[in-house]
C-alpha cells in the first residue's frame, strides 16, 4: 500500500472519546441515531464505544454493529483479554468489525499508571493484538501518550504490533502536547523506521489542550498519516479532539496544498453537527469554524459590500458546501446601505429611495440599543413605515391538554383586522405553527428550526431561526422575544409574510 496516493480515512470517535467527556453522555438510542448519521455522512470508521466499560456501552456497540451499514464499526479495548473478548462479542454482527487495542508507551504512563517496564509493554502489545486478530482481520493498535514516548521505543512497540497483525498504527497525542512541526517529523520518522510501514495505515489522534488538534492532525497527514481520528464539533476529553468538520474542510479547501481528500459528504456536516447539539443539549460557540452561527455571517459594511460584489472577497468556501442554505449578511451598526437594501429585497420589500433612506436611518438608530438587527426588526421598521403590510401577533396562548397542546393565536392581518384561530398539535410548537397556518392561510414545511438563548438573567431573550423551502427558494425568518414561543411565532410569521408578499410575482400558490 502506498500511503501517499490514498485518501485520508476519517475515524470518528464522537461516540467513544467524545461521549466519555463531561456533559456529552448519550443514551443507547441517541448513540444509534448518531451512528446512522455518521454512516450517512460517509465516515470510514465509527468507533462505537468501549464494550467492557459498562453493559450499556456493550449494548450500544452491539446494536450499532448490527444496524449501521457502510462504515467499519470499531470498539476499544485495553490489552486485556476481558476487554478484547467483550469487543469481539459486541462486534459479532458487524459487516466490517475492527478491534482497537491500546496501551500506554510514555515513561510517565509506564511508571505511574501501568507500573510496567518497556519489555512488559511490548509483551502486552503482542498479546493484545494477537488475541484481537483471532476474532477479526482488522485490528488497530494505539500507543497511548505516543507524543511523550521515546521515539525509538515507539518504533519497537509498533514493530511488535505489526508483527502480531495490526493493520492500523495510531499515534495519539493523548494530552494535546505536540506542535505541528514535531508531529509531522514524528510521522516521517515512524514511516521510515517501522518495519512493514508501507503495509499499514498510520493514524493521528490529536487532543486539543493547546488548541492545536486540527493543525497537528493536518501536519500528521503531511508526515504520512492516512487516517485521522476526530469528533463532530471537536467534542472529547478535556478540551476535546480534532474537529472533523474543520479537518475535512481544510483538506478540501486547501486540496492544492495537501493533495489528499476524504470521502465525507461535506454538505451533511452542518446537519450532523446540529444533530449532535440536539442530542447532547450543548450548542457550539457562535464563532465555531464551519458549523457556528457566525461561520458564514458578515456584519461589517466593508465586508458586506465586498461580498455583494464578489463573494470570494471574504469567503473561502461556499456555505452550501457544508450544509448552510446561504451566507448571512447580518445587519448591525457596522452594516452599510447596500447590505440593508439587499436584505430588504430578499425579504420581499421593494422600496423607493426615500423610503429606503428612512428605514436605514431607523435601523441605525436601533443599533444604539441592540447589537444585531434581525429580519423581524427590519420587517417591523418597514411595516411601521407602512411600506409593506404583514401579519403580526396580537395575542397567543397555549394550553397543555395532556396528550396534546392547544394553541390560540390572535393576529392583526395586513389590513389591521383581527383574526383568531385555534389548533391542536403534539407539542406547543406544532400546535402554535398549525394555529398560525390556519389564521394566515399560509402553510409551509419547515426545513430547519432552532431556538437559542441570548444573554442571561433578566436580560435573557430567546431567538428563533427557521427556514422553509418553497418553489426552489429558501425563506428564512427570525424572531426575538423574552418568550421563545413568541420568538418562534414571530419567526414563523416573518416567513409567512415574505411568502405572501412574494407570491404575486412567484409562481407558487399559497394554500388557503
Ligand atoms: O487519547 C488517547 O490516547 C486515546 C486512545 C485510547 C486512543 O483516546
Ligand atoms: Zn483520545
For the record, the C-alpha cell of 173 comes out as 497525542
Closest among 37, 85, 31 to 63, alpha carbons compared: 31
Best residue among 11, 13, 17 to mutate for probing ligand 1, ranked by most atoms within 8 Å of CB: 17
Whether the CB of 19 sits within 6 Å of ligand 1? no
Residue 282 C-alpha to ligand 2 middle, in angstroms? Answer: 20
**Gyration radius (Cα) of the chain, Å:** 27
Cβ-Cβ contacts under 8 Å for 259 (sequence gap 6 or more): none
Which tens digit of pLDDT belongs to each residue from 327-382? Answer: 777 777 777 788 788 878 877 777 888 888 888 888 887 777 666 777 767 777 77
Whether the CB of 144 sits within 6 Å of ligand 1? yes
Share of the chain above pLDDT 70, in %: 93
Closest among 442, 444, 477, 485 to 461, alpha carbons compared: 485
Which tens digit of pLDDT belongs to each residue from 39-76? Answer: 999 999 999 999 999 999 999 999 999 999 999 999 99
Give the residue extent of every domain in the chain. Answer: 9-280, 297-383, 392-503
Residue 103 C-alpha to ligand 1 middle, in angstroms? Answer: 9
Q: Is the pLDDT confidence value at 512 over 60?
A: no
Which tens digit of pLDDT belongs to each residue from 450-490? Answer: 887 765 555 566 778 888 877 767 777 777 777 889 989 98
Q: Considering only CA atoms, which residue is closest to atom 8 of ligand 1?
A: 17
| Ligand 1 atom nearest 172 alpha carbon | 3
Residue 21 C-alpha to ligand 1 middle, in angstroms? Answer: 13
Measured from the alpha carbon of residue 79, the closest ligand is 1
Whether the CB of 174 sits within 6 Å of ligand 1? yes
Best residue among 78, 205, 207, 213 to mutate for probing ligand 1, ranked by most atoms within 8 Å of CB: 205
With 0-12 / 13-18 / 19 or more C-beta atoms within 10 angstroms meaning exposed / middle / buried, residue 433 is buried
Q: What is the pLDDT of residue 511?
A: 29
Best residue among 102, 113, 125 to mutate for probing ligand 1, ranked by most atoms within 8 Å of CB: 102
Closest among 1, 15, 11, 6 to 276, alpha carbons compared: 15
Whether the CB of 102 sits within 6 Å of ligand 1? yes
Does the 9-280 domain belong in CATH 3.20.20.70? Answer: yes
How many angstroms separate the Cα of 257 from the Cα of each of 179, 205, 253?
19, 21, 9
pTM: 0.75
CA dist 269 and 277 (Å) reads 12
CA dist 250 and 268 (Å) reads 16
CA dist 360 and 370 (Å) reads 15
| Ligand 1 atom nearest 237 alpha carbon | 1
The residue with greater pLDDT, 316 or 458, is 316
Contact 48, 71 (CB under 8 A): no
Q: How does DSSP assign 311-333, residue by residue?
A: GGGT-SS-GGGGT-SS-EE-EET
CA dist 324 and 311 (Å) reads 15
* DSSP at 417: -
pLDDT confidence of 103, banded at 50, 70, 90?
very high
How many angstroms separate the Cα of 422 from the Cα of each of 27, 188, 192, 256, 416?
36, 68, 72, 58, 19
Mean pLDDT of the chain: 89
Q: What is the pLDDT of residue 456?
A: 52
Q: Is the pLDDT confidence value at 223 over 90?
A: yes
For the record, the C-alpha cell of 35 comes out as 451512528
Q: Considering only CA atoms, which residue is closest to atom 5 of ligand 1?
A: 144
If you classify domain 392-503 with CATH, what class do you get? alpha beta
Q: Can you count the helices (H) and strands (E) in the chain?
A: 17, 18
How many angstroms separate the Cα of 395 from the Cα of each of 145, 380, 391, 419?
60, 17, 12, 10
| Ligand 1 atom nearest 144 alpha carbon | 3
The residue with greater pLDDT, 476 or 318, is 318
Whether the CB of 172 sits within 6 Å of ligand 1? yes
Residue 230 C-alpha to ligand 1 middle, in angstroms? Answer: 11
The residue with greater pLDDT, 257 or 454, is 257
Residue 278 C-alpha to ligand 1 middle, in angstroms? Answer: 26
CA dist 104 and 157 (Å) reads 10
* DSSP at 300: S
Residue 172 C-alpha to ligand 2 middle, in angstroms? Answer: 7
Amino acid at each position: 500500500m502506498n500511503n501517499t496516493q490514498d485518501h485520508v480515512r476519517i475515524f470518528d470517535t464522537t461516540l467513544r472519546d467524545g461521549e466519555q467527556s463531561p456533559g456529552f453522555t448519550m443514551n443507547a438510542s441517541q448513540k444509534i441515531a448518531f451512528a446512522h448519521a455518521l454512516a450517512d455522512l460517509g465516515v470510514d470508521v465509527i468507533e462505537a464505544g468501549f464494550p467492557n466499560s459498562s453493559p450499556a456501552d456493550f449494548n450500544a456497540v452491539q446494536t450499532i454493529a448490527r444496524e449501521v451499514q457502510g462504515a467499519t464499526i470499531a470498539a476499544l479495548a485495553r490489552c486485556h483479554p476481558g476487554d478484547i473478548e467483550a469487543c469481539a462479542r459486541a462486534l459479532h454482527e458487524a459487516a466490517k468489525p475492527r478491534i482497537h487495542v491500546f496501551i500506554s508507551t510514555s515513561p510517565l504512563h509506564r511508571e505511574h499508571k501501568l507500573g510496567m517496564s518497556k519489555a512488559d509493554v511490548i509483551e502486552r502489545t503482542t498479546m493484545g493484538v494477537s488475541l484481537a486478530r483471532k476474532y477479526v482481520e482488522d485490528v488497530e493498535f494505539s500507543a497511548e501518550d505516543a507524543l511523550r514516548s521515546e521515539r525509538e521505543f515507539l518504533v519497537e512497540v509498533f514493530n511488535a504490533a505489526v508483527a502480531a497483525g495490526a493493520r492500523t498504527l495510531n499515534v495519539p497525542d493523548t494530552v494535546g502536547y505536540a506542535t505541528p512541526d514535531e508531529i509531522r517529523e514524528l510521522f516521517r520518522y515512524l514511516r521510515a523506521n517501522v518495519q512493514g510501514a508501507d503495509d499499514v495505515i498510520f493514524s493521528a489522534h490529536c487532543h486539543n489542550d493547546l488548541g492545536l488538534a486540527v493543525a497537528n492532525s493536518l501536519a500528521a497527514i503531511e508526515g504520512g498519516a492516512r487516517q485521522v481520528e476526530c469528533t463532530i464539533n471537536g467534542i472529547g476529553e478535556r478540551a476535546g479532539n480534532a474537529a472533523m468538520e474543520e479537518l475535512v474542510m481544510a483538506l478540501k479547501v486547501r486540496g492544492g496544498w495537501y493533495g489528499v481528500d476524504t470521502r465525507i459528504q461535506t454538505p451533511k456536516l452542518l446537519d450532523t453537527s446540529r444533530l449532535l447539539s440536539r442530542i447532547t443539549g450543548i450548542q457550539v460557540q457562535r464563532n465555531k469554524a464551519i458549523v457556528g452561527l457566525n461561520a458564514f455571517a458578515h456584519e461589517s459594511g466593508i465586508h458586506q459590500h465586498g461580498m455583494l460584489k464578489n463573494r470570494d472577497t471574504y469567503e473561502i468556501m461556499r456555505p452550501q458546501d457544508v450544509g448552510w442554505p446561504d451566507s448571512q449578511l447580518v445587519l448591525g451598526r457596522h452594516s452599510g446601505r447596500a447590505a440593508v437594501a439587499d436584505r430588504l429585497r430578499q425579504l420581499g420589500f421593494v422600496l423607493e429611495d426615500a423610503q429606503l433612506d428612512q428605514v436605514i436611518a431607523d435601523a441605525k438608530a436601533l443599533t444604539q440599543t441592540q447589537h444585531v438587527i434581525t429580519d423581524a426588526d427590519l420587517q417591523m421598521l418597514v411595516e411601521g413605515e407602512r411600506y409593506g403590510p404583514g401579519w403580526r401577533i396580537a395575542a397567543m396562548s397555549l394550553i397543555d391538554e395532556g396528550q396534546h397542546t392547544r394553541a390560540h393565536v390572535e393576529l392583526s392581518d395586513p389590513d389591521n383586522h383581527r383574526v383568531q384561530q385555534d389548533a391542536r398539535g403534539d407539542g406547543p410548537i406544532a400546535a402554535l405553527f398549525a394555529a398560525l397556518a390556519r389564521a394566515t392561510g399560509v402553510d409551509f414545511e419547515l426545513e430547519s428550526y432552532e431556538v437559542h438563548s441570548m444573554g442571561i438573567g433578566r436580560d435573557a431573550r430567546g431567538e428563533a431561526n427557521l427556514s422553509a423551502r418553497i418553489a426552489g427558494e429558501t425563506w428564512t425568518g427570525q424572531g426575538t422575544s423574552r418568550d421563545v414561543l413568541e420568538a418562534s411565532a414571530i419567526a414563523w410569521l416573518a416567513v409567512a409574510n415574505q411568502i405572501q408578499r412574494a407570491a404575486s410575482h412567484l409562481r407558487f400558490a399559497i394554500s388557503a
